[in-house]
Structure 1
Amino acid sequence: MFRVAARTSQLLTPAPRWYPFAPCRGKKKKTNKRNSAPTDLDPEVASLINLSTFEANMQKAVDALRARYARIRASGASPGILDDIRVDAYGASTALKKLAQVSVRDGRTLLVSVFDEGTSNAVERAIRAAGLNLNPICDGPSKLKVPIPKPTEKAREGYAKVALQDAESAKVATRMVRRKAMDAVKDLKDDVGKEDLRRMENSVQQMSSKYIAVINKSLEEKVKSINAP
Protein backbone atom coordinates (compact mmCIF):
# COMPACT_ATOMS: atom_id res chain seq x y z
CA MET A 1 0.00 0.00 0.00
CA PHE A 2 1.42 3.33 -0.86
CA ARG A 3 0.32 6.74 0.25
CA VAL A 4 -1.55 8.91 -2.17
CA ALA A 5 0.38 11.89 -0.87
CA ALA A 6 3.55 10.41 -2.30
CA ARG A 7 1.88 10.08 -5.67
CA THR A 8 0.57 13.61 -5.96
CA SER A 9 3.28 14.56 -8.42
CA GLN A 10 2.44 11.49 -10.50
CA LEU A 11 -1.25 12.29 -10.52
CA LEU A 12 -0.72 15.84 -11.67
CA THR A 13 -0.03 15.77 -15.39
CA PRO A 14 -0.15 19.38 -16.55
CA ALA A 15 -0.84 19.87 -20.22
CA PRO A 16 1.78 21.73 -22.25
CA ARG A 17 1.40 25.44 -21.75
CA TRP A 18 2.01 28.16 -24.28
CA TYR A 19 4.46 30.90 -23.48
CA PRO A 20 5.61 33.78 -25.69
CA PHE A 21 9.15 33.18 -26.80
CA ALA A 22 11.72 35.79 -25.90
CA PRO A 23 15.52 35.92 -26.29
CA CYS A 24 17.42 34.71 -23.23
CA ARG A 25 19.56 37.35 -21.57
CA GLY A 26 23.11 37.19 -22.84
CA LYS A 27 22.23 34.84 -25.70
CA LYS A 28 20.94 35.32 -29.17
CA LYS A 29 17.91 33.17 -29.65
CA LYS A 30 15.77 32.89 -32.73
CA THR A 31 12.34 34.33 -32.03
CA ASN A 32 9.23 32.48 -33.10
CA LYS A 33 7.41 35.31 -34.83
CA ARG A 34 4.14 33.43 -34.89
CA ASN A 35 3.93 33.10 -31.12
CA SER A 36 5.51 36.45 -30.34
CA ALA A 37 2.82 38.42 -32.13
CA PRO A 38 0.95 40.82 -29.85
CA THR A 39 -2.54 39.79 -28.83
CA ASP A 40 -4.16 43.24 -28.85
CA LEU A 41 -6.76 43.14 -31.60
CA ASP A 42 -8.05 46.04 -33.61
CA PRO A 43 -11.72 46.57 -32.58
CA GLU A 44 -12.87 46.17 -36.17
CA VAL A 45 -11.00 42.88 -36.51
CA ALA A 46 -12.13 41.69 -33.07
CA SER A 47 -15.75 42.26 -34.09
CA LEU A 48 -15.41 39.52 -36.72
CA ILE A 49 -15.19 36.80 -34.06
CA ASN A 50 -16.67 36.62 -30.58
CA LEU A 51 -13.84 35.09 -28.54
CA SER A 52 -15.75 35.74 -25.31
CA THR A 53 -18.19 33.00 -26.30
CA PHE A 54 -15.37 30.47 -26.53
CA GLU A 55 -13.93 31.68 -23.23
CA ALA A 56 -17.34 31.26 -21.59
CA ASN A 57 -17.38 27.63 -22.75
CA MET A 58 -13.93 27.06 -21.26
CA GLN A 59 -15.19 28.53 -18.00
CA LYS A 60 -18.11 26.08 -18.10
CA ALA A 61 -15.61 23.20 -18.22
CA VAL A 62 -13.91 24.58 -15.09
CA ASP A 63 -17.24 25.12 -13.33
CA ALA A 64 -18.30 21.55 -14.13
CA LEU A 65 -15.01 20.25 -12.72
CA ARG A 66 -15.47 22.18 -9.48
CA ALA A 67 -19.02 20.83 -9.18
CA ARG A 68 -17.73 17.26 -9.57
CA TYR A 69 -14.98 17.89 -7.03
CA ALA A 70 -17.59 19.06 -4.52
CA ARG A 71 -19.09 15.56 -4.70
CA ILE A 72 -15.83 13.76 -3.99
CA ARG A 73 -15.74 12.98 -0.29
CA ALA A 74 -12.35 13.87 1.11
CA SER A 75 -11.33 14.35 4.73
CA GLY A 76 -14.30 16.34 5.99
CA ALA A 77 -18.04 16.84 5.68
CA SER A 78 -19.17 18.42 2.41
CA PRO A 79 -22.85 18.85 1.47
CA GLY A 80 -21.95 18.33 -2.18
CA ILE A 81 -21.43 14.59 -1.68
CA LEU A 82 -25.22 14.15 -1.47
CA ASP A 83 -26.03 16.17 -4.59
CA ASP A 84 -26.42 13.16 -6.89
CA ILE A 85 -28.68 11.17 -4.57
CA ARG A 86 -32.22 10.64 -5.79
CA VAL A 87 -35.14 9.72 -3.56
CA ASP A 88 -38.29 7.76 -4.37
CA ALA A 89 -40.88 10.22 -3.09
CA TYR A 90 -44.32 11.36 -4.19
CA GLY A 91 -44.38 8.59 -6.77
CA ALA A 92 -41.29 9.78 -8.61
CA SER A 93 -37.50 9.84 -8.43
CA THR A 94 -36.60 13.23 -6.98
CA ALA A 95 -33.26 14.89 -6.28
CA LEU A 96 -32.54 14.89 -2.54
CA LYS A 97 -31.71 18.61 -2.62
CA LYS A 98 -35.32 19.30 -3.63
CA LEU A 99 -36.59 17.44 -0.59
CA ALA A 100 -34.15 18.60 2.08
CA GLN A 101 -31.52 21.13 3.00
CA VAL A 102 -28.05 19.73 3.63
CA SER A 103 -25.68 21.62 5.93
CA VAL A 104 -22.47 20.97 7.84
CA ARG A 105 -23.07 20.29 11.51
CA ASP A 106 -19.40 19.87 12.32
CA GLY A 107 -16.19 18.83 10.59
CA ARG A 108 -17.28 15.22 10.23
CA THR A 109 -21.08 15.41 10.28
CA LEU A 110 -23.76 16.55 7.85
CA LEU A 111 -27.25 17.59 8.92
CA VAL A 112 -30.12 16.81 6.54
CA SER A 113 -33.24 18.86 7.28
CA VAL A 114 -36.16 17.30 5.40
CA PHE A 115 -38.86 19.73 4.26
CA ASP A 116 -41.70 17.21 4.58
CA GLU A 117 -41.47 14.83 7.54
CA GLY A 118 -43.41 12.27 5.51
CA THR A 119 -40.41 11.78 3.22
CA SER A 120 -37.83 11.40 6.01
CA ASN A 121 -37.73 7.60 5.81
CA ALA A 122 -37.39 7.69 2.02
CA VAL A 123 -34.52 10.19 2.29
CA GLU A 124 -32.79 8.03 4.89
CA ARG A 125 -33.10 4.91 2.71
CA ALA A 126 -31.77 6.76 -0.32
CA ILE A 127 -28.68 7.95 1.55
CA ARG A 128 -27.96 4.44 2.84
CA ALA A 129 -28.39 2.93 -0.63
CA ALA A 130 -26.25 5.53 -2.43
CA GLY A 131 -23.06 3.48 -2.16
CA LEU A 132 -21.25 6.20 -0.21
CA ASN A 133 -20.81 4.15 2.97
CA LEU A 134 -23.01 6.61 4.87
CA ASN A 135 -25.38 5.66 7.68
CA PRO A 136 -27.79 8.48 8.60
CA ILE A 137 -29.17 8.70 12.13
CA CYS A 138 -32.50 10.22 13.15
CA ASP A 139 -31.78 13.49 14.96
CA GLY A 140 -35.30 14.68 15.67
CA PRO A 141 -38.42 15.34 13.58
CA SER A 142 -37.49 15.81 9.92
CA LYS A 143 -33.76 15.81 10.72
CA LEU A 144 -31.06 13.28 9.91
CA LYS A 145 -27.51 13.32 11.19
CA VAL A 146 -25.03 11.85 8.70
CA PRO A 147 -21.60 10.99 10.18
CA ILE A 148 -18.81 11.09 7.61
CA PRO A 149 -16.36 8.23 8.25
CA LYS A 150 -12.67 8.94 7.91
CA PRO A 151 -11.59 7.57 4.51
CA THR A 152 -9.20 4.64 4.42
CA GLU A 153 -5.89 4.76 2.56
CA LYS A 154 -7.41 2.75 -0.28
CA ALA A 155 -10.40 5.08 -0.44
CA ARG A 156 -8.13 8.14 -0.61
CA GLU A 157 -6.25 6.57 -3.49
CA GLY A 158 -9.52 5.95 -5.30
CA TYR A 159 -10.71 9.53 -4.74
CA ALA A 160 -7.43 10.88 -6.09
CA LYS A 161 -7.78 8.77 -9.24
CA VAL A 162 -11.31 10.05 -9.78
CA ALA A 163 -10.08 13.62 -9.29
CA LEU A 164 -7.41 13.06 -11.94
CA GLN A 165 -9.92 11.59 -14.38
CA ASP A 166 -12.27 14.53 -13.85
CA ALA A 167 -9.42 16.98 -14.47
CA GLU A 168 -8.46 15.20 -17.69
CA SER A 169 -12.08 15.37 -18.87
CA ALA A 170 -12.11 19.11 -18.19
CA LYS A 171 -8.89 19.53 -20.17
CA VAL A 172 -10.34 17.61 -23.10
CA ALA A 173 -13.41 19.85 -23.06
CA THR A 174 -11.20 22.96 -22.93
CA ARG A 175 -9.06 21.77 -25.85
CA MET A 176 -12.15 21.02 -27.90
CA VAL A 177 -13.29 24.61 -27.38
CA ARG A 178 -9.81 25.81 -28.36
CA ARG A 179 -9.95 23.75 -31.55
CA LYS A 180 -13.32 25.21 -32.49
CA ALA A 181 -12.04 28.72 -31.80
CA MET A 182 -8.95 28.11 -33.94
CA ASP A 183 -11.15 26.82 -36.76
CA ALA A 184 -13.29 29.94 -36.50
CA VAL A 185 -10.17 32.10 -36.71
CA LYS A 186 -8.89 30.24 -39.77
CA ASP A 187 -12.21 30.83 -41.50
CA LEU A 188 -11.37 34.55 -41.43
CA LYS A 189 -8.17 34.18 -43.47
CA ASP A 190 -9.79 35.85 -46.50
CA ASP A 191 -11.07 38.78 -44.43
CA VAL A 192 -8.07 39.79 -42.32
CA GLY A 193 -4.31 40.00 -42.73
CA LYS A 194 -1.79 37.39 -41.59
CA GLU A 195 -0.69 39.50 -38.63
CA ASP A 196 -4.25 39.83 -37.36
CA LEU A 197 -4.74 36.08 -37.75
CA ARG A 198 -1.64 35.50 -35.63
CA ARG A 199 -2.94 37.85 -32.97
CA MET A 200 -6.26 36.03 -32.83
CA GLU A 201 -4.59 32.61 -32.72
CA ASN A 202 -2.36 33.80 -29.88
CA SER A 203 -5.38 35.14 -28.01
CA VAL A 204 -7.09 31.75 -28.29
CA GLN A 205 -3.95 29.88 -27.21
CA GLN A 206 -3.37 32.14 -24.21
CA MET A 207 -7.02 31.75 -23.22
CA SER A 208 -6.74 27.97 -23.39
CA SER A 209 -3.47 27.94 -21.43
CA LYS A 210 -5.07 30.05 -18.70
CA TYR A 211 -7.93 27.61 -18.17
CA ILE A 212 -5.70 24.54 -18.35
CA ALA A 213 -3.63 26.14 -15.57
CA VAL A 214 -6.81 26.68 -13.52
CA ILE A 215 -7.73 23.01 -13.99
CA ASN A 216 -4.27 21.88 -12.87
CA LYS A 217 -4.49 24.10 -9.81
CA SER A 218 -7.93 22.73 -8.93
CA LEU A 219 -6.61 19.18 -9.22
CA GLU A 220 -3.63 19.95 -7.01
CA GLU A 221 -5.86 21.50 -4.34
CA LYS A 222 -8.31 18.59 -4.47
CA VAL A 223 -5.57 16.00 -4.04
CA LYS A 224 -4.24 17.92 -1.04
CA SER A 225 -7.75 17.98 0.40
CA ILE A 226 -8.13 14.24 -0.13
CA ASN A 227 -4.86 13.59 1.70
CA ALA A 228 -5.61 15.96 4.57
CA PRO A 229 -5.91 14.33 8.03
Structure 2
Amino acid sequence: MIDEVFVDVKERMTKAVEAAREGFATVRTGRANPSLLQNVQVDYYGTPTPLSQLASVANQDARSLLITPYDKGAMKDIEQAIRDMPNLGANPSNDGNVIRVTLPELTEERRKEFVKIVKGRAEDARVAIRNVRRHGKDSLDALKSEVGEDEINRAEKELDSVTKQFIDQIDESLKHKEAELLEV
Protein backbone atom coordinates (compact mmCIF):
# COMPACT_ATOMS: atom_id res chain seq x y z
CA MET A 1 0.00 0.00 0.00
CA ILE A 2 2.79 2.42 0.88
CA ASP A 3 4.55 1.43 -2.33
CA GLU A 4 1.45 2.41 -4.33
CA VAL A 5 1.49 5.85 -2.69
CA PHE A 6 5.17 6.28 -3.61
CA VAL A 7 4.64 5.20 -7.21
CA ASP A 8 1.88 7.79 -7.57
CA VAL A 9 3.91 10.52 -5.81
CA LYS A 10 7.03 9.92 -7.92
CA GLU A 11 5.02 9.86 -11.13
CA ARG A 12 3.29 13.15 -10.32
CA MET A 13 6.53 14.82 -9.19
CA THR A 14 8.25 13.69 -12.40
CA LYS A 15 5.46 15.31 -14.40
CA ALA A 16 5.92 18.55 -12.44
CA VAL A 17 9.66 18.57 -13.22
CA GLU A 18 8.98 17.85 -16.92
CA ALA A 19 6.41 20.65 -17.05
CA ALA A 20 8.93 23.05 -15.49
CA ARG A 21 11.59 22.10 -18.04
CA GLU A 22 9.12 22.56 -20.89
CA GLY A 23 8.22 25.95 -19.44
CA PHE A 24 11.89 26.88 -19.29
CA ALA A 25 12.33 25.91 -22.95
CA THR A 26 9.68 28.41 -24.03
CA VAL A 27 11.61 31.32 -22.50
CA ARG A 28 13.95 32.54 -25.16
CA THR A 29 17.66 32.93 -24.85
CA GLY A 30 19.91 34.74 -27.30
CA ARG A 31 19.44 31.95 -29.85
CA ALA A 32 16.43 31.09 -31.94
CA ASN A 33 14.95 27.72 -31.07
CA PRO A 34 11.75 26.13 -32.47
CA SER A 35 10.65 25.29 -28.91
CA LEU A 36 10.05 29.02 -28.36
CA LEU A 37 6.91 28.63 -30.44
CA GLN A 38 5.67 25.34 -28.98
CA ASN A 39 2.90 27.01 -26.94
CA VAL A 40 1.62 29.24 -29.77
CA GLN A 41 -2.08 28.73 -30.37
CA VAL A 42 -3.32 29.86 -33.78
CA ASP A 43 -6.96 30.80 -34.35
CA TYR A 44 -7.48 28.43 -37.29
CA TYR A 45 -11.02 28.75 -38.66
CA GLY A 46 -12.29 29.74 -35.22
CA THR A 47 -10.53 26.93 -33.36
CA PRO A 48 -7.38 27.43 -31.25
CA THR A 49 -4.86 25.06 -32.85
CA PRO A 50 -1.22 24.45 -31.85
CA LEU A 51 1.26 25.89 -34.35
CA SER A 52 2.96 22.49 -34.64
CA GLN A 53 -0.21 21.11 -36.27
CA LEU A 54 -0.33 23.90 -38.85
CA ALA A 55 3.30 24.37 -39.85
CA SER A 56 6.84 23.14 -39.55
CA VAL A 57 9.26 25.32 -37.61
CA ALA A 58 13.01 25.26 -38.27
CA ASN A 59 16.08 27.29 -37.36
CA GLN A 60 17.20 29.45 -40.24
CA ASP A 61 20.17 30.91 -38.37
CA ALA A 62 21.09 31.90 -34.80
CA ARG A 63 18.46 34.65 -34.54
CA SER A 64 15.69 33.62 -36.92
CA LEU A 65 13.13 30.88 -37.39
CA LEU A 66 11.55 29.69 -40.62
CA ILE A 67 7.90 28.62 -40.45
CA THR A 68 6.46 26.68 -43.38
CA PRO A 69 2.66 26.43 -43.14
CA TYR A 70 0.97 23.29 -44.43
CA ASP A 71 -2.00 25.45 -45.48
CA LYS A 72 -1.04 28.77 -47.11
CA GLY A 73 -4.43 30.16 -46.10
CA ALA A 74 -3.38 30.07 -42.45
CA MET A 75 -0.36 32.38 -42.92
CA LYS A 76 -2.09 35.54 -41.68
CA ASP A 77 -3.46 33.72 -38.63
CA ILE A 78 -0.03 32.26 -37.82
CA GLU A 79 1.61 35.67 -38.17
CA GLN A 80 -0.99 37.23 -35.88
CA ALA A 81 -0.57 34.51 -33.24
CA ILE A 82 3.22 35.04 -33.20
CA ARG A 83 2.82 38.82 -33.03
CA ASP A 84 0.42 38.44 -30.07
CA MET A 85 2.77 36.11 -28.19
CA PRO A 86 4.04 37.78 -24.99
CA ASN A 87 7.76 37.88 -24.17
CA LEU A 88 8.88 37.15 -27.72
CA GLY A 89 9.23 40.65 -29.17
CA ALA A 90 9.42 39.31 -32.73
CA ASN A 91 7.80 40.70 -35.84
CA PRO A 92 7.11 37.93 -38.37
CA SER A 93 7.19 38.59 -42.12
CA ASN A 94 5.99 36.38 -44.93
CA ASP A 95 6.90 36.08 -48.60
CA GLY A 96 3.80 34.14 -49.63
CA ASN A 97 5.36 30.72 -49.01
CA VAL A 98 7.11 30.89 -45.65
CA ILE A 99 7.11 33.07 -42.55
CA ARG A 100 10.40 34.37 -41.19
CA VAL A 101 10.60 35.33 -37.54
CA THR A 102 13.70 37.34 -36.66
CA LEU A 103 14.25 37.65 -32.94
CA PRO A 104 15.63 40.96 -31.67
CA GLU A 105 18.94 41.06 -29.81
CA LEU A 106 18.45 40.68 -26.07
CA THR A 107 19.39 43.60 -23.86
CA GLU A 108 20.70 43.02 -20.34
CA GLU A 109 17.45 44.37 -18.92
CA ARG A 110 15.40 41.95 -21.07
CA ARG A 111 17.61 39.03 -20.00
CA LYS A 112 16.96 39.88 -16.35
CA GLU A 113 13.22 39.98 -17.03
CA PHE A 114 13.45 36.50 -18.55
CA VAL A 115 15.38 35.29 -15.49
CA LYS A 116 12.52 36.55 -13.29
CA ILE A 117 10.01 34.70 -15.47
CA VAL A 118 12.02 31.48 -15.24
CA LYS A 119 12.37 31.83 -11.47
CA GLY A 120 8.60 32.25 -11.21
CA ARG A 121 8.06 29.09 -13.22
CA ALA A 122 10.54 27.23 -11.02
CA GLU A 123 8.70 28.37 -7.91
CA ASP A 124 5.38 27.22 -9.43
CA ALA A 125 6.94 23.80 -10.02
CA ARG A 126 8.26 23.66 -6.44
CA VAL A 127 4.77 24.48 -5.16
CA ALA A 128 3.32 21.72 -7.35
CA ILE A 129 5.84 19.24 -5.90
CA ARG A 130 5.02 20.32 -2.35
CA ASN A 131 1.32 19.87 -3.11
CA VAL A 132 2.03 16.33 -4.34
CA ARG A 133 4.01 15.72 -1.15
CA ARG A 134 1.09 16.97 0.97
CA HIS A 135 -1.31 14.73 -0.94
CA GLY A 136 1.06 11.78 -0.47
CA LYS A 137 1.34 12.50 3.26
CA ASP A 138 -2.46 12.57 3.53
CA SER A 139 -2.60 9.21 1.76
CA LEU A 140 -0.01 7.80 4.16
CA ASP A 141 -1.92 9.15 7.17
CA ALA A 142 -5.03 7.38 5.91
CA LEU A 143 -3.08 4.08 6.04
CA LYS A 144 -2.02 4.51 9.71
CA SER A 145 -4.63 2.10 11.07
CA GLU A 146 -3.72 -0.60 8.55
CA VAL A 147 0.09 -0.38 8.54
CA GLY A 148 1.24 1.03 11.86
CA GLU A 149 2.79 4.26 13.00
CA ASP A 150 6.44 3.22 12.68
CA GLU A 151 6.00 2.29 9.02
CA ILE A 152 4.19 5.56 8.34
CA ASN A 153 6.96 7.58 10.05
CA ARG A 154 9.61 5.82 7.94
CA ALA A 155 7.54 6.40 4.81
CA GLU A 156 7.14 10.11 5.65
CA LYS A 157 10.91 10.48 5.99
CA GLU A 158 11.36 8.77 2.63
CA LEU A 159 8.67 11.06 1.18
CA ASP A 160 10.64 14.09 2.40
CA SER A 161 13.79 12.68 0.79
CA VAL A 162 12.01 12.10 -2.54
CA THR A 163 10.53 15.60 -2.41
CA LYS A 164 13.99 17.09 -1.86
CA GLN A 165 15.38 15.14 -4.83
CA PHE A 166 12.73 16.49 -7.17
CA ILE A 167 13.07 20.06 -5.90
CA ASP A 168 16.84 19.75 -6.42
CA GLN A 169 16.18 18.70 -10.04
CA ILE A 170 14.14 21.86 -10.58
CA ASP A 171 16.83 24.00 -8.95
CA GLU A 172 19.48 22.42 -11.19
CA SER A 173 17.40 23.08 -14.32
CA LEU A 174 16.82 26.65 -13.15
CA LYS A 175 20.54 27.18 -12.63
CA HIS A 176 21.31 25.98 -16.18
CA LYS A 177 18.56 28.12 -17.71
CA GLU A 178 19.70 31.18 -15.77
CA ALA A 179 23.27 30.73 -17.00
CA GLU A 180 21.96 30.27 -20.55
CA LEU A 181 19.86 33.44 -20.33
CA LEU A 182 22.62 35.60 -18.89
CA GLU A 183 25.24 34.33 -21.35
CA VAL A 184 26.09 37.06 -23.86
Relative contact order, CA 8 A, sep 6+: which one is greater? 1
Name the residue aligned to 1:65. 20
Name the residue aligned to 1:117. 72
Matches within 5 A, 1:67-86: 67-86=22-41
Question: Quick one: which amino acid aligns to residue 91 of structure 2?
Answer: N
DSSP 3-state at the match of 1:88: strand
Question: Quick one: which amino acid aligns to residue 221 of structure 1?
Answer: H
Shift of 1:84: 2.8
Shift of 1:106: 2.1
Answer yes or no: is 1:145 the counterpart of 2:91: no
Name the residue aligned to 1:135. 91
Matches within 5 A, 1:1-229: 46=2, 49-131=4-86, 132-138=88-94, 141=97, 143-229=98-184
Instruction: Judge which range, 216-225 or 182-191, deviates more.
Output: 182-191
Q: Deviations over 1:33-57 (max 9, x none)?
A: xxxxxxxxxxxx645x431111111
Question: Quick one: which amino acid aligns to residue 117 of structure 1?
Answer: K
Contact 2:58 2:65 in 1 (8 A): yes
Q: Comparing both structures, which one devotes a greater share of its residues to helix?
A: 2
Q: Deviations over 1:163-191 (max 9, x none)?
A: 11111110111011111111211222222
Percent of aligned pairs with the same residue?
34
Instruction: Judge which range, 102-111 or 50-59, deviates more.
Output: 102-111
**TM-score normalised by the chain length of structure 1:** 0.73
Following TM superposition, where does structure 1 have runs of at least 4 consecutive aligned residues deviating by more than 3 angstroms?
Answer: none
Contact 2:144 2:152 in 1 (8 A): yes
Name the residue aligned to 1:20. none
Name the residue aligned to 1:40. none
Shift of 1:139: 5.2
Shift of 1:140: 6.0
Which 5+ residue runs of structure 2 have no aligned equivalent?
Answer: none
Shift of 1:100: 0.9
Question: Quick one: which amino acid aligns to residue 135 of structure 1?
Answer: N
Which one has a bigger Cα radius of gyration? 1
Question: Quick one: which amino acid aligns to residue 220 of structure 1?
Answer: K
Contact 2:129 2:163 in 1 (8 A): yes
Question: Quick one: which amino acid aligns to residue 71 of structure 2?
Answer: D
Going from structure 1 to structure 2, the CA distance change for 1:190 and 1:138 (only over 3 Å counts) comes to: same
Contact 2:17 2:169 in 1 (8 A): yes
Contact 2:40 2:85 in 1 (8 A): yes
Q: CA RMSD in A?
A: 1.8
